[in-house]
Amino acid sequence: MPKKEPLKMSKKRIFKDFLKEAKQHRPIVFYTDNDCDGMLAGSVLMSMCYRLGIKDFFFFSPLRNAHGYGFTDLALNDLLSQPCIFNPKTNQLVRLDCIKNQFQKTPLLFSADLGADLAANTKLQEILLERFEQCIITDHHKSFEVDWIDKNKIAYINLNDEKDANYYSGAFTSALVFSQIFQIQTTPLEKELIAITLLSDRIDLDHGDNLDMVLNLAPVKHERIQCFFKDKDLSLAQDDLDEISNLYGFNCINYINALSRLSGAREFKGCYNSYLHYLVLKHFNPISDPRLSVFNVKEFKRYNDIKKKMVKESEENAQIFSCNKILVAILDESCSIKVGVSGLVADRFLKKYPFNRSLCIYRDNKDGYSGSARGDGTFLSQIKTIPLIQAGGHEEAFGLSFAKEDFKKVMKSLQAL
């Protein structure tokens, strides 16, 4: 892994306290995104915990179609009150208060790659500090100035704010921070998981050691990654970045992201109560039976096939029109995985029609519009010039929302871009 300058002195006290509490068996709850980057971040952190001898750790990752992205009100309500936290030792879902009661200690919170919601909401910080002893928040999206209510209890680290390029994935960021807290190096197998997230998040590969990490995926050593390529010859991809990207996109990244895109959909109740993406943590859990790995990947493929069918149906039923040079698609109300497929539909329309930018939107559960955008390198910056739209993510791929009553004004503003 690239060498990283030590983090600022202001972080060192909370890191020291976090380390002390973890060594004294205070449980850790990892809050991760539900996509490939977030799930492999969780898998890397899980591997590091086992190597450190940390046994008391859990995971929460929101349901894309039920909770939305990040620290939303809906996700937080479930985190604080429902059996939705994944215990990797038992593959069961538990409640936060049960964790506290079991250990007789308030847990620590480590957020892998989710921070923007916290940065913007001091009330949310207060709620978390009532339930967690300390919070370490990492992120890799471009952020804004933050105002923390208690810097002795919350630390925020965004390594990409120090770079011109989007250099770190979420898994990369959280692993670097965790390794600095516990003074531990990542293993070659953990680096392979991180390298996949560099591909999945379209991270800049032209600087530092990022490119080498990805090229090293051609002769992959991790047995549970090899399961995704049972009938593929990875040696054909050696030293060919495009070939490696294609192989991992179609045979690994898309499979993992399919679980995320279907999570929270009403059709899948009963399978971890729709927390499908926890299957990724189960698959990469070092203590789980390796003989189940091939079966796990077959399950991933099955859900990916379901996802492809639902994306195709969503695309066919969408209403589309143009706003100057931007293609706008509105998903039909019957679509049950609007949040999960909106980005894919936006991307498919870009390939299907002669546009460089596209939006795919839908009526959300807050009586407004939400959706995803795909475009060129300045698309997010231009969308942010429209005050009526809230948007965040990467320049070429991001989420957005606006009020229902502003629909006509937003379309007029898009027309003027």
Could you say which of 245, 270, 300 is where a domain stops?
300
pLDDT in tens, 67-99: 887 778 888 899 999 999 999 999 999 999 999
pTM: 0.90
pLDDT in tens, 315-348: 999 999 999 889 999 999 888 888 889 999 999 9
Say if 28 falls within a structural domain: yes
pLDDT in tens, 108-145: 999 998 776 666 678 888 888 999 999 998 888 766 55
Calculate mean pLDDT across residues 288-314: 92
Contact 361, 342 (CB under 8 A): yes
Q: How far apart are CA 400 and CA 390, in angstroms?
A: 5
Residue type, 162: E
Could you say which of 300, 331, 356 is where a domain stops?
300
Q: CB-based burial of residue 384 (10 Å sphere; 0-12 exposed, 13-18 middle, 19+ buried)?
A: middle
Q: Which of 338, 303, 293, 290 is nearest to 318 (CA)?
A: 338
Q: In what order do the strands lie in the sheet with 368-374?
A: 319-323, 326-330, 357-363, 368-374, 397-403, 390-393
Say if 149 falls within a structural domain: yes
Tokens for 10?
Answer: 């202001």
pLDDT interval class at 248 (50, 70, 90):
very high
Q: Clarify whether residues 373 and 263 are in a common domain.
A: no
Q: Clarify whether residues 324 and 383 are in a common domain.
A: yes
Q: In what order do the strands lie in the sheet with 57-60?
A: 92-94, 85-87, 57-60, 28-32, 108-112, 135-139, 154-158
Q: Clarify whether residues 268 and 333 are in a common domain.
A: no
Strand partners, 93: 86
Contact 32, 113 (CB under 8 A): yes
Contact 308, 292 (CB under 8 A): no
- With 90 as the cut, is the pLDDT of residue 392 above it? no
Tokens for 142?
Answer: 């471009």
Say if 153 falls within a structural domain: yes
Contacts for 128-134: CB closer than 8 Å, 24+ residues apart: 128/154, 129/153, 129/154, 131/80, 131/96, 131/106, 131/107, 132/29, 132/106, 132/107, 132/108, 133/21, 133/26, 133/105, 133/106, 133/107, 133/108, 134/14, 134/17, 134/18, 134/21, 134/108, 134/109
Say if 356 falls within a structural domain: yes
Say if 3 falls within a structural domain: no
Q: How far apart are CA 139 and CA 355, in angstroms?
A: 31
- CATH number of the domain to which 288 belongs: 3.90.1640.30
pLDDT in tens, 24-75: 999 999 999 999 999 999 999 999 999 999 999 999 999 998 888 777 888 8
Q: Clarify whether residues 262 and 334 are in a common domain.
A: no
Contact 242, 218 (CB under 8 A): no
Three-state DSSP state, 158: strand
Three-state DSSP state, 366: coil
pLDDT score recorded for residue 153: 87
pLDDT score recorded for residue 144: 57
Nearby residues of 271 by Cβ (< 8 Å), 6 or more positions away: none
Contact 97, 86 (CB under 8 A): no
Q: How far apart are CA 140 and CA 342, in angstroms?
A: 22
334: containing domain: 318-416
Tokens 């991760």 belong to residue: 32
How many separate domains does the chain show? 2
Q: Clarify whether residues 144 and 111 are in a common domain.
A: yes
Q: How far apart are CA 22 and CA 28, in angstroms?
A: 7
Say if 310 falls within a structural domain: no
Tokens for 290?
Answer: 């390796």
Q: Clarify whether residues 263 and 339 are in a common domain.
A: no
Tokens 């695309």 belong to residue: 315
28-32/57-60 β-pairing: parallel
Say if 313 falls within a structural domain: no
Q: Clarify whether residues 129 and 268 are in a common domain.
A: yes
Three-state DSSP state, 316: helix
Q: Clarify whether residues 283 and 326 are in a common domain.
A: no
Q: Clarify whether residues 351 and 256 are in a common domain.
A: no
User: Mean pLDDT score of the chain, rounded to an integer?
Assistant: 88
Q: Which of 355, 317, 352 is nearest to 336 (CA)?
A: 317
Could you say which of 265, 300, 335 is where a domain stops?
300
pLDDT score recorded for residue 145: 58
Q: How far apart are CA 281 and CA 41, in angstroms?
A: 10
* H-assigned helices in 207-356: 210-215, 223-226, 241-248, 254-262, 278-284, 293-317, 338-352
pLDDT score recorded for residue 208: 63
Q: Clarify whether residues 167 and 232 are in a common domain.
A: yes
Contacts for 129-132: CB closer than 8 Å, 24+ residues apart: 129/153, 129/154, 131/80, 131/96, 131/106, 131/107, 132/29, 132/106, 132/107, 132/108
pLDDT interval class at 9 (50, 70, 90):
very low
- CATH number of the domain to which 411 belongs: 3.10.310.30
Mind giving me the DSSP string for 272-300? GGG-TTHHHHHHH-TTS-GGGHHHHHHHH
What share of the chain in percent tops pLDDT 70? 89
Q: Clarify whether residues 172 and 43 are in a common domain.
A: yes
Say if 276 falls within a structural domain: yes
Q: How far apart are CA 40 and CA 256, in angstroms?
A: 9
Three-state DSSP state, 319: strand
Q: Clarify whether residues 15 and 70 are in a common domain.
A: yes
